[in-house]
Amino acid sequence: MSEYSFFGAVEKSFDKAARFTKWDPGILEQIKQCNAVYRMHFPVKIGENIEVIKAYRVQHSHHKLPCKGGIRFAMSVNLDEVMALAALMTYKCAIVNVPFAGAKGGITIDPKKYTPYDLEKITRRYTSELIKKNFIGPGIDVPAPDYGTGEREMAWIVDTYISMRPGDIDALGCVTGKPVTQGGVRGRREATGLGVFYGLREVCNMTDVMHQRGMTTGVEGKTIVVQGLGNVGYHSAKFFQDAGAKVIGLAEFEGAITNPNGLDIDAVFNHRKQTGSILNFPGATNLALSSDALELECDILIPAALENVINGQNAPRVKAKIIGEAANGPLTPEADEIFTRRGILVVPDMYLNAGGVTVSYFEWLKNLSHVRYGRMEKRFTENQNRQMLDQLEEFSGKKVTQKERDEIVHGPEEVDLVRSGLEETMIAATREIMDAWKMNPEIPDMRTAAYVVAINKVGLSYAELGIFP
């Protein structure tokens, strides 16, 4: 059996969609390839020893600048994975109309084995290596958090960049996912999970799509299973729960739990924080293996952990009617083919988890404009709303309650505008992909339709730049 290649799987999906486009084979080959690959080794003193750290940064495309993509810290990080994730970022940005090209980075370490001080040294050294080779900058390549990294690491990156690029007034735009105090944007932390919710909610609101699967429209009452209770999995589950769906299964690396009556997400999260495990949660049943949760009967399955968790072996046992890929590459091409034959709708990662990069785009714009969202319009909007409400009360002779008045008058905060922009982005992308699918009945699945949309947009960028005749 040949070894699984994540980048090979992305290429396979690309080729599957390319035949539904009209671009010259040379253009398609250029779109598919990774333009720049930087593989590095650098020494860092850890305790009394010197460790040689292996790291990567891949810029998949330069059809737009800057490039954009996260940095992950994990022992599984390798060149194949980083290339695949960089390619997915190109297609993802194109689909959701974010003017970035795709990139990705990673460091092959287990962050749990290092102290915060050692992680800071590794992160800062990695940043300095990127700066030396011009692989980072607000107009060049803008990293973000990914698996194993977060706001803390992004703060170290921006501080290192500022120290090595003094006087660059746009330096805060060199990285996104920063703490709000360091130029971050409110709403970034939950953005990917919220984007997953918005995308799946829009699919659930499409009468024809749901009717084909014998399902009612809307999210309320739907049964949900989520694999992964990290940032993305937690927020995806939380937003579905708040919208009236029932989360009946949760899985983490230590195991899985289920309750057909529903699980309280915050209660499970706190239970894991206190005990170190989601297992033995009151009222829930433990499952023998974490992967068993993937095979629970449910309306929507959301794999929100790592890639390649559903493959040719376990795909025939999956009972969900819709699969929402919150993680990057959780399905292999073999699993895709099985689900297509079975009529199970796979809502693909390459657009569904684009909430992170969409809000990263908003953060980048905030850094370049040097003004907080809502600062200019909040009070103006409130004053307008207050005047209109006063006029309505005067003409109608009826008074609203103070609570109602506060809700009506309320001007947009930064988080309100960020979430509104994300909602618009995910709804528009979902409809565009579905329209492309309906226009060509030969397209076998939603993933292929998403690739068709992405390839056409990237190809058009190259054509408009005059790079190809």
Residue 193 forms part of a structural domain? yes
Residue 297 forms part of a structural domain? yes
Q: In a 3-state reduction of DSSP, which class is residue 347?
A: strand
Q: In what order do the strands lie in the sheet with 36-46?
A: 36-46, 49-59, 101-107, 67-73, 141-145
Question: Can you tell me the distance from the alpha carbon of 328 to that of 72, in angstroms, rounded to the nearest whole number?
Answer: 12
Residues 250 and 163 in one domain: no
- Other C-beta atoms closer than 10 Å to the C-beta of 291 total 15
Q: In a 3-state reduction of DSSP, which class is residue 22?
A: coil
Residues 202 and 108 in one domain: no
Residues 137 and 251 in one domain: no
List residues bridging with 227 in a β-sheet. Answer: 251, 303
Count CA atoms closer than 13 A to 142's CA, side-chain side.
28
Domain of 464: which CATH number? 3.40.50.720
Pick from 34, 62, 59: which is nearest to 136 by CA?
Answer: 59
Residues 220 and 95 in one domain: no
In contact, 243 and 219? CB cutoff 8 Å: yes
CA 455 to chain centre: 19
Residue-wise pLDDT for 148-199, tens only, equals 999 999 999 999 999 999 999 999 999 999 999 999 999 988 999 999 999 9
Residue 132 forms part of a structural domain? yes
Does the pTM exceed 0.85? yes
Residues 265 and 192 in one domain: yes
In the DSSP assignment, the letter for residue 217 is S
Pick from 156, 112, 101, 98: which is nearest to 130 by CA?
Answer: 156
Q: Is 449 exposed, middle or buried (0-12, 13-18, 19+ CB in 10 A)?
A: buried
Residues 169 and 200 in one domain: no
Tokens of 319: 């009972």
End position of a domain, from candidates 161, 183, 205: 183
Task: Name every residue whose Cβ is closer than 8 Å to that of residue 445 and which is 6 or more positions away in sequence.
Answer: 336, 339, 340, 346
Question: Can you tell me the distance from the alpha carbon of 31 to that of 39, in angstroms, rounded to the nearest whole number?
Answer: 21
Residues 72 and 218 in one domain: no
Tens-of-pLDDT digits for all 469 residues of the chain? 456 788 998 899 899 999 999 998 989 999 999 999 999 999 999 999 999 999 999 999 999 999 999 999 999 999 999 999 999 999 999 999 999 999 999 999 999 999 999 999 999 999 999 999 999 999 999 999 988 999 999 999 999 999 999 999 999 999 999 999 999 999 988 999 999 999 999 999 999 999 988 899 999 999 999 998 888 999 999 999 999 999 999 998 888 899 999 999 999 999 998 898 888 889 888 887 878 888 889 999 999 987 778 888 888 998 999 999 999 889 988 898 999 999 899 999 889 999 999 999 999 999 999 999 888 888 888 898 889 988 988 888 888 888 888 888 888 889 999 999 999 999 999 999 999 999 998 999 999 999 999 999 999 887 776 655 4
List residues bridging with 225 in a β-sheet. Answer: 249, 301
End position of a domain, from candidates 156, 183, 210: 183
In contact, 17 and 458? CB cutoff 8 Å: no
Residues 195 and 318 in one domain: yes
Residues 153 and 205 in one domain: no
Question: Can you tell me the distance from the alpha carbon of 400 to that of 393, in angstroms, rounded to the nearest whole number?
Answer: 8
Residues 362 and 318 in one domain: yes
Angle at 191 between CA 236 and CA 9, to 5 degrees: 75
Residues belonging to the active site: 104
Average pLDDT, the chain: 92
Residues 162 and 194 in one domain: no
Question: Can you tell me the distance from the alpha carbon of 281 to that of 267, in angstroms, rounded to the nearest whole number?
Answer: 9
Q: Which residue type does 299 have? A: D
Residue 18 forms part of a structural domain? no
Residue 15 forms part of a structural domain? no
Phi, psi of 7, deg, nearest 5: -65, -35
| Domains identified in the chain, total number | 2
CA 307 to chain centre: 13
Give me the numbers of helices (H) and strands (E) for the chain, helices first please: 16, 12
251-271 burial: b if 16+ Cβ within 10 Å, else e: bbeebbbbbeeebbbeebbeb
Residue 17 forms part of a structural domain? no
Residue 50 forms part of a structural domain? yes
Query: Where in the sequence is the domain holding 59, given as residue range(s)?
Result: 36-183
Residue 22 forms part of a structural domain? no
Residue-wise pLDDT for 392-428, tens only, equals 888 888 888 888 888 888 888 899 999 999 999 999 9
Question: Can you tell me the distance from the alpha carbon of 464 to that of 466, in angstroms, rounded to the nearest whole number?
Answer: 5
Question: Can you tell me the distance from the alpha carbon of 194 to that of 243, in angstroms, rounded to the nearest whole number?
Answer: 12
Question: Can you tell me the distance from the alpha carbon of 381 to that of 153, in angstroms, rounded to the nearest whole number?
Answer: 36
Residue count of the chain: 469
Residues 208 and 126 in one domain: no
Domain of 167: which CATH number? 3.40.50.10860
Residue spans of beta strands (DSSP E) within 134-269: 141-145, 223-227, 246-252, 255-258
In contact, 346 and 329? CB cutoff 8 Å: no
Question: Can you tell me the distance from the alpha carbon of 143 to that of 70, in angstroms, rounded to the nearest whole number?
Answer: 5
End position of a domain, from candidates 153, 183, 213: 183
